[in-house]
């Protein structure tokens, strides 16, 4: 199967700070992120031949991107796949470039949530399995709390111990966030802060939940053979993968709630393309979808960073900390960098891009393999997921 490996290069990226941008519109965020990427790539907006816009709730139609940037009358695809939208837009742009349809394209993810909040089902759920609105709605936090309870139960972890393991993940991501100038939350927290925080959905507390933010991120892609015309340290797309669930968590009465199959499938697909045998050894850092700390814990296992049931050992050993064996969420992750849904996948690519180019400042990690992983996962264990993975590497990787 011909994939995208080494056929597509990222030659420029941009990202706004994430947070409560009461003073900025969707258009403002798009202009800031995209112009930063244009400048980084050394291209003009008029050079863009096609674009992919990722947003879940902050605009429909391609014009959402064309209007603020005035890049009218070119193909612009608006992508929605919930929290994996950014990756989905990026992956589809890769497909278009790798097949030779376009030479220079723009990927932009944007979300403006702080005007209205998160429009997720409030009481009874009209949009999910059915449409009659008698089925209970649920917040993502509640669904992940149910997952956490099963995970703890399955592996015989007392709930209090489980909460402490999760708190360590929050402490780690807050530490990384403190080194991340564009992050929503840049304050370090202690284990006690996390454990004593208000409960959101038992057993999950406030610091187990990521921040809802406004923000945008953008990438300029070109064909790998043209990349050197723009810069030497361009970043190649090494492999992409994606997997979509089918409501198995509800419809199948034996679905376990201790792992996320979509994560497993998406990462396997990407690893195969990128030639990764052992991700723990083959990649230098991973930006993963820590919408809730319990999900980050599961991801360590789902993505093969550690064997099943042993994620807590990795947490205890500091394996995934900034100076650990495999740093995860070096920029603070969704937890601290913030989660403007459609922008998050592109933001993760921005972090790995910067790390691979050695531009990550205080949070710079060693890049022996010159390879990084990004991963988003939409949905919840109750309604199933869309998971997406993009592997990025330097020329030599």
Partner 1 sequence: MVGIVSYGAYIPIWRMNRELLSRGSGERSVAGQDEDSLTMAVAAAIDCLGDLDRENIDGVLFASTTSPFKEKCVASTIAAVLDLRRDVFTADFANSIRAGTSALKAALGMVKAGAAKQILVTAADCRLGAPGSPFERTFGDGGAALLVGKENLIAELEEEHSISDEIYDVWRRDVDLYVNSWEDRFIYSYGYHTVVNEAVSGLMKKAGVESKDVKKAVLSAPETKRAMSLAKSLGFDPKTQLQDPLADKVGDTGTAQPLMLFTAALEEANLDDRFLLAGYGNGSDAFLFTVREGINEIKGKRRGVKAHMERKKMVPNYATYLMWRKLVQTPSPRVPMSVSYPTATAIWRERKRIYPLHGVKCRVCGTIQYPPQRVCIKCRAKDDFEEVRLCGRKGKLFSYSFEFIRGNVPIGLVNLEGGGRVFVELTDADPGELKIDLPVELTFRRLNLWREDGMYGYFWKATPIKIP
Interface residues with partner 1 (CB under 8 A)? 116-124, 126-127, 129-139, 141-143, 145-147, 149-150, 153, 199-204, 246-253, 255, 257, 382
Give me the residue label for tokens 């015309």.
Answer: 229
- Integer CA distances (angstroms), 394 to 106, 227, 235, 321, 351, in order: 20, 12, 5, 23, 14
Pairing of strands 235-244, 8-15: antiparallel
Which residues, 6 or more positions from 149, have their beta carbon under 8 angstroms from its beta carbon?
Answer: 159, 203
Q: Is 304 helix (H, G, I), strand (E, B) or coil?
A: coil
Q: Is 351 helix (H, G, I), strand (E, B) or coil?
A: helix
* Residue 145 vs 371, nearer CB to partner 1: 145
* Residue 44 vs 123, nearer CB to partner 1: 123
Give first-to-last CA distance, the chain, whole Å: 21
* Residue 93 vs 204, nearer CB to partner 1: 204
* Residue 132 vs 232, nearer CB to partner 1: 132
Which active-site residues does the annotation give? 83, 339
Give me the residue label for tokens 């449409």.
Answer: 131
* Residue 275 vs 309, nearer CB to partner 1: 309
Q: Is 111 helix (H, G, I), strand (E, B) or coil?
A: strand
d(Cα 73, Cα 63) in Å, to the nearest integer? Answer: 9
Q: Minimum distance between the CB of residue 302 and partner 1, rounded to whole angstroms? A: 18
Q: Minimum distance between the CB of residue 287 and partner 1, rounded to whole angstroms? A: 27
170 conformational bin, left if phi > 0, alpha if psi -120 to 50, beta if neither: alpha
Q: Minimum distance between the CB of residue 155 and partner 1, rounded to whole angstroms? A: 13
Q: Minimum distance between the CB of residue 136 and partner 1, rounded to whole angstroms? A: 5
Per-position b or e across 155-176, b if 16+ CB within 10 A of its CB? eebeeeebbbbbbbbbbbbbbb
* Residue 23 vs 253, nearer CB to partner 1: 253
Q: Minimum distance between the CB of residue 265 and partner 1, rounded to whole angstroms? A: 16
Crossing angle (nearest 10°) for helices 341-356 and 85-98: 60
Contact 284, 373 (CB under 8 A): no
d(Cα 270, Cα 373) in Å, to the nearest integer? Answer: 9
Q: Minimum distance between the CB of residue 182 and partner 1, rounded to whole angstroms? A: 26
Q: Is the peptide bond before 203 cis (omega within 30 degrees of 0)?
A: yes
**Burial of 80 by CB count in 10 Å (0-12 exposed, 13-18 middle, 19+ buried)?**
middle
Q: Minimum distance between the CB of residue 177 and partner 1, rounded to whole angstroms? A: 24
* Residue 44 vs 253, nearer CB to partner 1: 253
Contact 168, 193 (CB under 8 A): no
């Amino acid at each position: 199967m011909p994939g995208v490996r080494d056929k597509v290069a990222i030659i420029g990226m941009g990202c706004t700070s994430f947070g409560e941008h009461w003073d900025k519109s969707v258009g403002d965020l798009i202009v800031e992120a995209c112009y930063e990427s244009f400048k980084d790539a050394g291209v003009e907006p008029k050079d863009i031949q096609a674009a992919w816009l990722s947003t879940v709730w902050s605009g429909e139609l391609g014009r959402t991107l064309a209007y603020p940037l005035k890049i009218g009358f070119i193909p612009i695809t608006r992508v929605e796949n919930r929290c994996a939208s950014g990756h989905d837009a990026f992956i589809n742009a890769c497909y278009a470039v790798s097949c030779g349809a376009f030479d220079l394209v723009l990927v932009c993810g944007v979300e403006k949530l702080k005007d209205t909040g998160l429009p997720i089902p409030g009481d009874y759920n009209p949009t999910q399995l059915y449409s009659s609105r008698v089925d209970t709605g649920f917040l993502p936090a509640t669904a992940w709390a149910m997952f956490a309870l099963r995970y703890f139960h399955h592996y015989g972890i007392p709930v209090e111990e489980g909460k402490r393991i999760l708190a360590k993940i929050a402490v780690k991501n807050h530490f990384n966030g403190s080194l991340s100038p564009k992050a929503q939350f840049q304050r370090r927290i202690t284990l006690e802060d996390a454990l004593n925080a208000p409960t959101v959905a038992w057993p999950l507390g406030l610091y187990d939940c990521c921040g809802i933010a406004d923000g945008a991120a953008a990438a300029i892609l070109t064909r790998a053979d043209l990349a050197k015309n723009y810069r030497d340290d361009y970043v190649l797309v090494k492999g992409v993968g994606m997997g979509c669930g089918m409501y198995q968590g509800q419809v199948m009465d034996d679905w376990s709630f201790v792992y996320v199959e979509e994560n497993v499938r998406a990462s396997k697909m990407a690893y195969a393309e990128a030639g990764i045998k052992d991700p723990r050894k083959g990649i230098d850092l991973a930006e993963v979808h820590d919408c809730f700390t319990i999900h980050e814990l599961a991801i360590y296992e789902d993505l093969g960073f550690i064997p099943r049931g042993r994620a807590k050992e990795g947490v205890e050993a500091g394996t995934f900390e900034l100076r650990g064996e495999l740093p995860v969420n070096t920029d603070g992750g969704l937890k601290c960098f913030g989660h403007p849904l459609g922008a998050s996948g592109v933001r993760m690519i921005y972090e790995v891009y910067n790390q691979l180019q050695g531009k990550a400042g205080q949070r710079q990690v060693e890049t022996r393999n010159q390879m990084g992983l990004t991963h988003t996962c939409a949905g919840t264990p109750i309604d199933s997921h869309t998971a997406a993975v993009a592997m990025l590497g330097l020329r030599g990787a």
